[in-house]
Structure 1
Amino acid sequence: MTGWTHTPIDARLVRGALDLERTERGVLPHRLPGWARRQFPDEYLARTEAQPSGVRLAFRTRATAVELDVLATKRAYRGAPPQPDGLYDLVVDGRLAGQATAPGGDLAVIEMADQTATVRPGPPGTVRFDGLPAESKDVEIWLPQTEPTELIALRTDAPVEPVPDGGRRVWLHHGSSISHGSSAASPTETWPALAAARGGVDLVNLGFSGNALLDPFTARAVRDAPADLISLKIGINLANTDLMRLRAFTPAVHGFLDTVREGHPSTPLLVISPILCPIQEDTPGPLALDTDSPDLRFRAVGDPADVAGGRLTLNVIRDELARITAQRANDDPNLHYLDGRSLYGEADFAELPLPDGVHPAPAGHRRIGERFAAQIFENGGLWSR
């Protein structure tokens, strides 16, 4: 197009990704590095880590119009209509300035029972923002948190340049679907994105829906990634998959923390236990769909009597995480623990219930993000400046 500036999309412009995979059309952001992706055969995790929660293009420009060509992979569950198209959030000088969707795209039709998917190919589409102020400004385009998005081309009506390093701290967070933002209204409305904005930090979000499972490759990815602050939200997926017993959980947590400390021996490190989830507080997993409910809801199908034999519930997990971090903190003064119920507890559940029994609604994400920022980043909080 005449008068447009075409800017290559590379690591200078992409933030929040640990790897950029070169494709025939452009680049595909990943939240796990290539060597880690070769170490797991799970299709669900492969799809999840490619969903670019927290990933955004960031640049400085005087442009009044921006176009981004993408190939997004949208979602539908077998037997149900497609999910709403993911939103692209435009942030200008730190403020939300617009939202758009991308037409076209591939469609992943997912089997709810085992999370396998069949992909129906579709065409690329263009996301356009215009009417921007003509002065120099910092622009971010946040990608949809649940749609793998191949970045094909960036066009602007004025040149762009990478945003200079402003000395902001990098906060790397790992967690489950709630951290991923699978139920958030948009990519800047996930609770980690909201907390990062209030805390003035650069977010790297390694929240993986259904896959915060103490995997060794995830620990090594955290170990190797640059970070000034690290938080690990541990527990809910281990309970709702019924993946391990207490005997395995305790050394797995120690091993995960040991690996992170190999690369970040003194980086401030926060272990966060699960928020309140009544169906799993005292009932082990696994989770199953509640077929008696007219809406999508989950229920825990384990037997509470099995807790004595080592099966995990959220209360068991919280008690053990508190014990482990207290023990390790004797030799690691930069290790801290946060009970997730201080972010979302019984009073919050009464006011803002979990629509499917597990995930907060958008208002819940905002509550959690505000609480985390207040306790950790603001007003003398743990990581305040």
Structure 2
Amino acid sequence: MHTTPITAALLRGALDIEHTAHGLRPHRLPAWARAQCADDQLAMAEAQPSGVRLVFRTRATTIELDALRTSTAYVGAPPRPDGVYDLLVDGRPAGQAGATGGNVRVVDMTTGSVETRPGPVGTIRFAGLSEGPKDIEIWLPYNEATELVALRTDAAVEPAPDSGRKVWLHHGSSISHGSDAASPTSTWPARAASLGGVELINLGLGGSALLDPFTARTMRDTPADLISVKIGINIVNADLMRLRAFAPAVHGFLDTIREGHPATPLLVVSPLLCPIHEDTPGPSAPDFSNLAEGRLRFVAMGDPAERAAGKLTLNIIRDELSRLVTQRSADDPNLHYLDGRGLYGEQDFAELPLPDQLHPDAATHRRIGDRFAGLVFDGDGPFAASRQPAG
């Protein structure tokens, strides 16, 4: 077997690489940005490599990847699904595998305590691949931090050539991060990117789409041909700001992105339907009453009457985002708006309800990705001019 050093040349979708005692840990925020926020939720989310993949060309029929995963477990809750590695050969699904061993990050939601229990490096193996030269993509789990330790193949490896596709940079909340999608290539942004024929950089950060200036600066400095920002749900369920602060924060976020991308198509997406927060402010809180049956749900803790004092709801945020984009687009013809209920609305909720009241399931991720591709990459959608055939 050939052992190939894992370097930045073999990685796509990561914005930084940390050298660890075991190997390489991909990050989705650069080190300087991580240093500006000590929030544990953000640290966990950005280190989970949603949209990050190993990409190379080889004649190999067997591929082995050693990796040290860090999964998350919640005290008293049923086990979380293990992370999945998706294999694509020449752009087509060709296998899935998981890693054994690994560290476990144990979170007690009632006390906020976190304990990390160490474990061994595991191996992900794909065998029986077709002979001859082919382009390989191994998409890393969206829900586990991953340290890449070693890559072994039964033939030589070389970096894959540039695909020539446009780069789509997307920022959003846990739904964009992946939430409860079936695998890394079936999160809604990954599916939409595949259908749209673009290369994805996913800055969906679970619980952390909070209009942070360092995220805007990261997007400003990241080369991209298409940019979208999905704003709202984390602002509400974190009860982070009031209406007076929200509009200037959105303006500042977009201004910063425009400093680096003055004419790039930029799409602002408002929240998907989330009934608990349509007219009820946050914060969101976990409801532990059905935990023994393996069900965790979230509830809205705010009072609708608090809207008069400037507390935010999803409907208020949609109105503000629509107004702001209309205002700005008079001087920015490449700025666009999409109401998130066009991706997931009332009829969708009736058919495919949110299992925990906040996050979609795997079938809903597929629907959202299909809808986004149809509304944004097809027809007269804001990204349609950049579409290339998938596959």
Between the aligned residues of both structures, percent identity stands at 68
Among residues 43, 52, 57, which one is paired with 1:55 in the alignment? 52
Structure 2 counterpart of 1:316 = 316
Select between 352-361 and 289-298 the one with higher mean Cα deviation: 289-298
Cα shift readout 1:4-33 (whole Å, capped 9, x = no counterpart): 111111111101000011112211000000
Q: Which segments of 5 or more consecutive residues in structure 1 lack a partner in the other structure? A: none
Among residues 53, 64, 67, which one is paired with 1:67 in the alignment? 64
1:182-201 alignment, distance < 5 Å? 182-201=179-198
Distance in 1, matches of 2:91 and 2:380, equals: 23
Structure 1 counterpart of 2:305 = 305
Q: 3-state DSSP class of the match of 2:9?
A: coil
Q: 3-state DSSP class of the match of 1:267?
A: coil
Shift of 1:113: 4.3
Moved over 6 A (4+): none
Among residues 85, 88, 93, which one is paired with 1:91 in the alignment? 88
Q: Look up the equivalent residue of 2:142 and give its one-letter code.
A: Q
Select between 77-86 and 53-62 the one with higher mean Cα deviation: 77-86
Structure 1 counterpart of 2:338 = 338
Among residues 171, 174, 189, which one is paired with 1:174 in the alignment? 171
Among residues 145, 166, 171, which one is paired with 1:148 in the alignment? 145
Distance in 1, matches of 2:281 and 2:45, equals: 24
Cα shift readout 1:69-105 (whole Å, capped 9, x = no counterpart): 0000011101234322110000111111100010100
Shift of 1:290: 2.5
Shift of 1:116: 4.8
Shift of 1:126: 0.5
Distance in 1, matches of 2:282 and 2:110, equals: 15
Report the CA distance shift for 1:258/1:330 in structure 2 as closer, same or farther (over 3 A). Answer: same
- Tell me the TM-score normalized by structure 2: 0.96
Cα shift readout 1:195-220 (whole Å, capped 9, x = no counterpart): 00000100000001111000110111
Structure 1 counterpart of 2:262 = 265
Among residues 105, 121, 125, which one is paired with 2:118 in the alignment? 121
Among residues 233, 246, 250, which one is paired with 2:247 in the alignment? 250
- Please tell me whether the aligned partners of residues 44 and 116 of structure 1 are also in contact (alpha carbons under 8 angstroms): no
- Please tell me whether the aligned partners of residues 175 and 233 of structure 1 are also in contact (alpha carbons under 8 angstroms): yes
Q: 3-state DSSP class of the match of 2:250?
A: helix
Shift of 1:115: 5.5
Q: Look up the equivalent residue of 1:190 and give its one-letter code.
A: T
Cα shift readout 1:25-73 (whole Å, capped 9, x = no counterpart): 2110000000001111111111110000000000111110000000000
Tell me how large the CA RMSD over aligned residues is: 1.1
Distance in 1, matches of 2:144 and 2:86, equals: 13
Shift of 1:336: 0.4
Among residues 32, 36, 41, which one is paired with 1:39 in the alignment? 36
Shift of 1:163: 1.2
Cα shift readout 1:216-263 (whole Å, capped 9, x = no counterpart): 101111111111000000000000011100001010000100111111
Among residues 109, 130, 133, which one is paired with 2:130 in the alignment? 133
Aligned residues: 382
- Please tell me whether the aligned partners of residues 191 and 368 of structure 1 are also in contact (alpha carbons under 8 angstroms): yes
Report the CA distance shift for 1:276/1:151 in structure 2 as closer, same or farther (over 3 A). Answer: same
Select between 197-206 and 289-298 the one with higher mean Cα deviation: 289-298
Q: Which segments of 5 or more consecutive residues in structure 2 lack a partner in the other structure? A: 386-391
Distance in 1, matches of 2:350 and 2:271, equals: 17
- Please tell me whether the aligned partners of residues 44 and 115 of structure 1 are also in contact (alpha carbons under 8 angstroms): no
Shift of 1:117: 2.2
Structure 2 counterpart of 1:369 = 369
- Please tell me whether the aligned partners of residues 175 and 232 of structure 1 are also in contact (alpha carbons under 8 angstroms): yes
Distance in 2, matches of 1:365 and 1:299, equals: 22
Report the CA distance shift for 1:290/1:24 in structure 2 as closer, same or farther (over 3 A). Answer: closer
